[in-house]
Amino acid sequence: MVESRITVGDCRTRILEVPGSGPLVLLLHGFADSADTWRELLAELARRGHRAVAIDLPGFGRASAVGRVDLLAEYDEFVTAALVSLRRADDAPAVLVGNSMGATVALRAAGDRPDVAAVVALAPAGLGFHPVLHKASNALDTLVPVLRVAYHVPYPAIGVRVAVAGYYRARLAPGLRNAWRFGSHFHGMADFRRVGALGRRLMAEVQAGCLDFGAMSAPVTLIWGSADPVCDVAGASTLLDAVPGSRLVMLHGSGHLPQIDATVAVADVLDGVVEQLAD
């Protein structure tokens, strides 16, 4: 696995890449996450001979900050520019794979375009959250004055990273190994403040409606963990009813990050998608 820095449009970012054949598989992480979330899946895809790249989205990981008011529109442009940068001249259209926020971005690219052959969306945030998450979001809004004070407490970076890693292990991906990696891009409470502000912007965009099912023409596969505590699989039916040929794969016992706690199963699905494109 090769880690490198590249420039995509106006954004300086980082990629993790494994060599292989077939269409490029571009992996888009979720909110407050990074390309590191895909390390286990990248290793599995490499063993199966797929060329795959995970990329830090603007505002997260080691990428440059976001610059626009409309986050999802900025990510749309970023993904298009990333495909221009990463696809070879003779490449077939890519397979976009996303998790949570990244899955929403991937679904927004499922229209009639020559650079995307198929989309695989793991627990896409754009199809609805569990009610408990809405309650938590509303509760945070009432705590803004308190949080403004907490954000300025000089907690050591290691403490912040341990807290983030613990949340990943306890809440998002049961049985997570190397949990420390998932907090490695948090350097202190200032990052929590920045991420919190981005989260409120993103939630507003998602709740306003961010997916156009009528425009989706690329094959769409949804993957959902049965134990996902964040995104509600009940919202999948709207897309499945509206997008011909779309399908849902349920992974029993998996949480919000199937790429981590059901790596082989996700790779099996991707195998099938790539094989179908080759037929």
pLDDT in tens, 124-179: 998 988 765 544 444 444 434 444 445 455 656 665 656 666 666 555 665 556 55
Is residue 195 a contact partner of residue 205, using CB atoms and an 8 Å limit? no
Q: Which has the minimum average pLDDT: 1-5, 136-140, 157-161, 209-213?
A: 136-140
Band of pLDDT at residue 194, cut at 50, 70 and 90: low
Name the nearest CA neighbour of 266 among 251, 246, 278: 251
Residue in this structure with the two tokens 């509600």, named with its chain if needed: 232
Is pLDDT larger for residue 197 or for residue 142? 197
CA angle 79, 222, 27 (to 5 degrees): 30
CATH fold label, 2-129+211-278: Rossmann fold (3.40.50)
pLDDT at residue 222 tops 60: yes
The amino acid occupying position 135 is K
pLDDT at residue 67 tops 50: yes
Question: In angstroms, rounded to a whole number, what is the distance separating the alpha carbons of residues 73 and 44?
Answer: 31
Domain boundaries, the chain: 2-129+211-278
Q: What are the tens digits of pLDDT across the range 33-64?
A: 899 999 999 999 999 999 999 999 999 889 99
Q: In 10 A of CB 203, how many CB atoms? A: 16
Q: What are the tens digits of pLDDT across the range 75-129?
A: 999 999 999 999 987 789 999 999 999 999 999 999 989 999 999 999 999 898 8
Q: Supply the pTM of this predicted model.
A: 0.84
pLDDT at residue 184 tops 90: no
